[in-house]
Chain A
Amino acid sequence: MKSVVQTLVSPTSIASRRAFMGRTGKLSAVAVAMLAGKDALAQGMGGDMAKDVSILNVALGLEHEAINAYQLGAGSGLLQKPVLDVAVRFQADHKAHRDALIATIQKMGGTPVMEKKLDDYAKALKADTLRNQGDVLDLAARLELGAINAYLGVIPAFGSKDLAKVAGRLAADETLHFTVLTNALGRPLPAGALSFGA
Chain B
Amino acid sequence: MMKRSTLWIGCAAQLLLTLASAHAQTGSPAKGQMIFESRCVACHNLDTNRVGPALGTVVGRVAGKAPDYLYSPALGAAAHVWSRDKLLAWLTNPESLVPGQAMGYRVDMPEDRQDVVAYLASLPRKTTSK
Contact = CB atoms under 8 A, between A and B. Distances in A.
Interface of A: 51, 54-55, 57-58, 61-62, 65, 123-126, 142-143, 145-147, 149-150, 153-154, 156-158, 198
Nearest to B37: A142
B19 interface: no
B104 interface: yes
A153 B112 CA distance: 14
Given A150-B105, A153-B105, A157-B104, A58 B48 contact: no
B48 A126 contact: yes
Interface stretch (B39-47, B79-87, B119-127): B39-47
Interface in B83-109: 95, 102-106, 109
A130 to B, nearest CB: 15
Interface in B29-63: 37-43, 45, 48-51
Contacts of B21: none
Contacts of B104: 51, 54-55, 58, 153-154, 157-158
A156 B38 CA distance: 19
Given A61-B51, A62-B51, A65-B50, A146 B105 contact: no
A61 B72 CA distance: 13
B102 A58 contact: yes
A122 B42 CA distance: 16
A147 B109 CA distance: 19
Interface of chain B: mostly helix, strand, loop or mixed: loop
30 contacts: A51-B95, A54-B102, A58-B43, A61-B43, A61-B51, A62-B43, A62-B51, A65-B51, A124-B45, A124-B48, A125-B48, A125-B50, A143-B41, A143-B42, A145-B42, A146-B42, A149-B38, A149-B39, A149-B42, A150-B39, A150-B42, A153-B39, A153-B106, A154-B105, A156-B106, A157-B104, A157-B105, A157-B106, A158-B104, A198-B112
B95 to A, nearest CB: 7
A145 B112 CA distance: 18
Nearest to B93: A157
A58 B75 CA distance: 15
Nearest to B99: A51
Contacts of B42: 62, 143, 145-147, 149-150
A105 B104 CA distance: 15
A157 B95 CA distance: 10
Contacts of A149: 38-39, 42
Given A146-B39, A153-B39, A58 B45 contact: no
Nearest to B94: A157
A58 B51 contact: yes
